[in-house]
Amino acid sequence: MLTIISVSMLFAIPGALVFAMDSEFHPIKELGKRVAARISRTRDKSDVHLRLEELGKSSEKDYERFRIQQFGYSGASSALVLVLLLITNHSLFMATGLAVLTSVLLFVGINKELSTRIKKRRLKIEAEFPAIIEMLTLAIAAGETPLSAMLRIAESADGELSKEFATVIAAVRSGEPLHSSLDAMGRRVKSVMIRRFIDAIVTATLRGAPLIEVLSRHAIEARANQRNIVMNAAGKAEISMMIPVVFLILPISILFALWPSLTNLNLFAS
């Protein structure tokens, strides 16, 4: 009976908290505001602000939401593990230790998941970069300005780099100079390839150098770099494919080849 009551409370308490958070219950809302204010004042030691900014979430609300989610999931999982272990008659010391371990692992896992998302986004941007820069070269060669060419790409293309161009366009429309917006894009996207491209565009724009030659050179370098990335990935895949061949297919083939001889030897020995 006690186990049934504990399990019921285990699932009833989170539901009640969710209901309270969604309602107009002022103490809960006030507590949420205090927690958000406390999180905003804490020191960001793991550079979460910069990583969220790279994902396009640069506001303080996004940082508070991420931290609340991180701490909330960690605390909820810790409480869940603690109650479940106590229900199954485990010792308090063991239950507390596993609950703390679960909370720490989930906290670190959410942080790692954010880093993984950023890494995947960088890879997508670098994969889109050769095609985008060729589109930019063709648009400028057709007589468009760099800003109008970026606007065309932002409206017609679908990808992470086109979203970055849309952010640059929005910053320029708000009154920021084009070279400052491009420099902010280069600092936001932590990619050596994008940083070199932005530096070349900003330098050519400020000095009045022809953009077509700069863009054509970067397009060639981007295609060569993408080819090298594909060749490296193919080499790693080839090594990975050798593992089942060496450790699975080859031993089975040897076994089928030697099995008749081993059988005849056993018959001869008997």
State the Cα–Cα distance between residues 82 and 92, nearest whole angstrom.
8
Residues 41 and 112 in one domain: yes
Tens-digit pLDDT profile for the chain (270 aa)?
445 444 544 554 455 444 444 444 444 444 445 544 555 445 555 577 777 777 777 677 877 888 888 888 888 888 888 888 888 877 888 888 888 888 888 888 888 888 888 888 888 888 888 888 888 888 888 888 888 888 888 888 888 888 888 888 988 888 888 888 888 888 888 888 888 888 888 888 788 777 888 888 878 888 888 888 888 877 777 777 788 877 888 888 888 888 887 777 777 776
Whether 81 is in a domain gets the answer yes
Q: How far is it, in rounded angstroms, from Cα 46 to Cα 50?
A: 9
91, 177: one domain: no
Pick the closest to residue 169 from 155, 190, 187, 159 (CA basis).
155
Q: How confident is the model at residue 270, as a pLDDT?
A: 67
Q: Are 6 and 111 within one domain? A: yes
Distance, in Å, from the CA atom of 156 to the CA atom of 162, rounded to the nearest integer, reads 8
Q: Is 42 left (phi over 0), alpha (psi -120 to 50) or beta?
A: beta
93 close to 134: Cβ distance less than 8 angstroms: no
- Mark whether 17 and 61 lie in a shared domain: yes
187 and 158, same structural domain? yes
Residue 239 lies in a domain: no
Taking the C-alpha atoms of residue 97 and residue 111, their distance in angstroms, rounded to an integer, is 21
CATH number where 211 lies: 1.20.81.30
| Domains identified in the chain, total number | 2
Same domain, 212 and 181: yes
Domain boundary (118, 138, 167) is at: 118
**For 207-214, which contacts have Cβ atoms below 8 Å and span 24 or more sequence positions?**
211/140, 211/146, 212/137, 212/140, 212/141
Domain co-membership, 107 together with 17: yes
Contact present, 210 and 125 (Cβ < 8 Å):
no
In a domain, 165, yes or no: yes
Same domain? 109 vs 132: no
Look up the domain containing 30 and give its range.
2-118
Same domain, 139 and 111: no
